[in-house]
């Protein structure tokens, strides 16, 4: 069962619709008891880092998610800000992240040579997957996804970079550490590329 974590951020219904069209069982979790029976988790998110952490804490699901992800090793896919809160910290806020993928979230603007870069990074961009990235199976020759962000995930360990894109600099747009996956772009807005990625996650 694919379980979408609904803590008040992100277009939950868009993910539900994709999986229903693919005839893949899907549910929505709004509280800890809704997480029972989940075999895979999707953690969406939009907006600011601290606000996302606060909303996740307020949902009461964070302890259960830590148990499922860190101890039971249930695969999880963080999307957009849902990917960013997988990190230890963010330059956007002051609260600690989930710490499931070692690294920090950085602002493009904080890099001096990128001070004139137009933000947010918005629209379609090419994505280069790592050679062993199961999320991108079938897209090795061409991967294009829709982005909308002003911050990027800087992995502490290079082996956790699952894909890169370029906007002013090469940045990690997908991460993977064990059973934890994250993508900065929006698969639910990325047409057949996004549908394929969500299907690949379901088939891991």
**Catalytically annotated residue among 154, 188, 191, 203:** 188
φ, ψ of residue 131 in degrees (nearest 5): -60, -25
**pLDDT (tens digit per residue) in 142-175:** 899 999 999 999 999 999 999 999 999 999 999 9
Range of the domain at 129: 2-202
Q: Would you call 80 a catalytic residue per the annotation? A: yes
**pLDDT (tens digit per residue) in 17-61:** 999 999 999 999 999 999 999 999 999 999 999 999 999 999 999
**Where in 71-120 does DSSP place strands (E)?**
76-79, 89-90, 103-107
**Catalytically annotated residue among 121, 149, 160, 186:** 186
Question: How many domains does the structure of the chain reveal?
Answer: 1
Any residues with CB less than 8 A from the CB of 56 and at least 6 apart, and which?
7, 62, 65, 85
Residue 141: which CATH number? 3.40.50.880
**DSSP calls for 6-27:** -SS-S-HHHHHHHHHHTT--EE
Q: Would you call 154 a catalytic residue per the annotation? A: no
Report d(CA 148, CA 26) in Å as an integer.
Answer: 26
pLDDT confidence bin for 4, thresholds 50/70/90:
very high
**DSSP calls for 26-79:** EEEESSGGGGTT-SEEEE---S-HHHHHHHHHHHT-HHHHHIIIIIS---EEEE
With CA atoms as reference, report the closest residue to 49 among 81, 16, 8, 17: 81
Report d(CA 74, CA 22) in Å as an integer.
Answer: 21
Q: Would you call 173 a catalytic residue per the annotation? A: no
**Catalytically annotated residue among 80, 121, 155, 160:** 80
């Amino acid at each position: 069962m694919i379980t979408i974590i609904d803590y008040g951020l992100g277009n939950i219904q868009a993910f539900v619709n994709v999986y229903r069209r693919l005839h893949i069982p899907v549910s929505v979790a709004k509280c800890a008891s809704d997480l029972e029976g989940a075999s895979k988790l999707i953690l969406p998110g939009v907006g600011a880092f601290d606000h996302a952490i606060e909303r996740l804490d307020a949902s009461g699901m964070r302890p259960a998610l830590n148990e499922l992800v860190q101890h039971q090793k249930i695969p999880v896919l963080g999307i957009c800000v849902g990917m960013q809160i997988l990190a230890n910290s963010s330059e956007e806020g002051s609260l600690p992240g989930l710490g499931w993928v070692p690294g920090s979230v950085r602002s493009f603007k904080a890099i001096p040579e990128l001070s004139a870069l137009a933000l947010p990074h918005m629209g379609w961009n090419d994505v280069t997957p790592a050679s062993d990235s199961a999320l991108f199976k079938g897209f090795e020759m061409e991967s294009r996804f829709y982005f909308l962000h002003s911050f990027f995930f800087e992995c502490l360990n290079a082996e956790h970079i699952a894909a890169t894109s370029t906007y002013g600099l090469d940045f990690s747009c997908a991460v993977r550490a064990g059973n934890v996956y994250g993508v900065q772009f929006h698969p639910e807005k990325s047409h057949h590329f996004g549908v394929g990625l969500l299907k690949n996650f379901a088939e891991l």
